[in-house]
Structure 1
Amino acid sequence: MSDLRIRPAEVSDIPAVLAFWRVAAEGTSVSDDETGVAGLIGRDAAALLLAERDGTLMGTVIAGFDGWRCHLYRLAVHPSARRQGVARALLAAAEERFTALGGRRGDAMVLEANERAHHAWQAVGYAREEQWRRWTKPLAPR
């Protein structure tokens, strides 16, 4: 995808990213607001990767590394750009980031009911681990 540009998000991108997720992402996160995304960018300016074509946002992924594990979140591709290599390019960029930081394995948060996403993740080499289940506890009211 030579016409696809991948770059880290900036604070000025936050409104566009939030609007994009409402169209392109499955489900919502407790952190899908200006404060949450600004906190991510402030903590790790290179974690939120954007894929753009001709200045238009086509995809996102959060590639967070905590020094121990490599976490992937919010992989989303605009419906008009799906099956065109956008997710593959974003994940390749995320994996390059992880490798440069010393990461050893990426793990992805994928909604159980999002069958389309399951196929996309499998196509790029990720596999479900049956022995793990995510446990959560809200730390702030929604």
Structure 2
Amino acid sequence: MNEQQKSRPMQPRMSAGGPTVGHTIFDLVGGMEFFTLLVHRFYDRVWQDEVMRPMYPQDDREGAEWRLAFFLAQYFGGPTTYSQERGHPRLRMRHVGFEIDLDARDRWVQHMTASLDESDVAPIIHGEMLDYFERAATAMINHNTAFRG
């Protein structure tokens, strides 16, 4: 278990007798397959969005999907493959080259929410994931269009 996983509180595990402690969201949603499908649905939406698509690698959708799926899987308690292959996520640094304003943030959240809504996850897990998506997307804002002339 890595330091990030140790510092994160245990997630509830649903069982016939109610929630128990010990499993992560990664475990509860069914593992890597869930994150791969979630991210694929997300990218289907991004590819149709005239604001978002230019922010993504036009010639490496497969690589982009891999990176996001493995990052999210790791964040939600899965294997540390992302960090092993790419190092620390450094989200702000990796996104600094893109003008991310409130509109881009909202579109990202909208597409991720719609992708998550297509998944069959328990409401508590849905809420936990949306909370993270909202916070992470807000943290990426690096441009304020309100001050443009």
| TM-score in terms of structure 1 length | 0.31
Normalized per residue, which structure has more helix? 2
